């Protein structure tokens, strides 16, 4: 079984994330959307809310699993027999950042990173932009799946 992890904070899930996951399902038998827990980071949404956003967005897709984890992504992969890390690239800066992480991960474990370019119509979207729009009472609904709703 070809399994991939799509790691991130997903604070919140964006249409860019959604697109990468949907496309990843066609490449892998299972896509594990894994929310990394970083105690140093301040989140807008709780872990439970972020997990629910993703579960609701993919409720009809049995190949998508949602989990949380602490520690190194490669350690999660080794413990869970995951051979691939799925990452989305929006721009050249993302590529440079992700390339360094991919090389480091490969040095640490026999894990391959698979990069997908984001769709042109979502390449400008980031979770930080969405959070800023939400904080300023803007229409964030154009940037996220329907499952992401602010109370």
- Tally the C-alpha atoms within 13 A of residue 19's C-alpha that lie toward its C-beta: 20
Q: In angstroms, what is the C-alpha Rg of the chain?
A: 15
User: How far apart, in Å, are the Cα atoms of 146 and each of 13, 16, 106?
Assistant: 10, 13, 36
Peptide bond just before 12 cis, omega within 30 deg = yes
Q: Is 123 a catalytic residue?
A: no
Tokens coding 129: 């932009």
Q: Is 26 a catalytic residue?
A: no
* Short-list 122, 114, 115, 89, CA closest to 16: 122
**Catalytic one among 26, 41, 42, 151?**
41
The full DSSP string for 47-84 is: HHHHHHHHHHHTTT-TTEEEEEE-S-HHHHHHHTT--E
Q: Is 127 a catalytic residue?
A: yes
Q: Is 17 a catalytic residue?
A: yes
**Catalytic one among 23, 83, 90, 99?**
90
Residues designated as active site: 17, 41, 90, 127
């Amino acid at each position: 079984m070809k399994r991939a992890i799509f790691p991130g904070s997903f604070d919140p899930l964006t249409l860019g994330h959604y697109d990468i996951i949907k496309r990843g399902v066609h490449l892998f038998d299972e896509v594990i959307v894994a929310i990394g827990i970083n105690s140093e980071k301040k989140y807008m949404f709780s872990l439970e809310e972020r997990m629910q956003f993703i579960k609701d967005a993919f409720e009809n897709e049995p190949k998508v699993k949602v989990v949380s984890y602490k520690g190194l992504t490669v350690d999660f992969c080794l413990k869970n027999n995951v051979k691939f890390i799925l990452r989305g690239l929006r721009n050249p800066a993302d590529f440079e950042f992700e390339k360094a992480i991919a090389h480091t991960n490969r040095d640490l474990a026999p894990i391959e990173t698979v990069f997908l370019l984001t769709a042109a119509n979502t390449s400008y979207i980031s979770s930080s932009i969405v959070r800023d729009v939400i904080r300023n009472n803007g229409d964030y609904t154009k940037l996220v799946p329907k499952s992401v709703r602010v109370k």
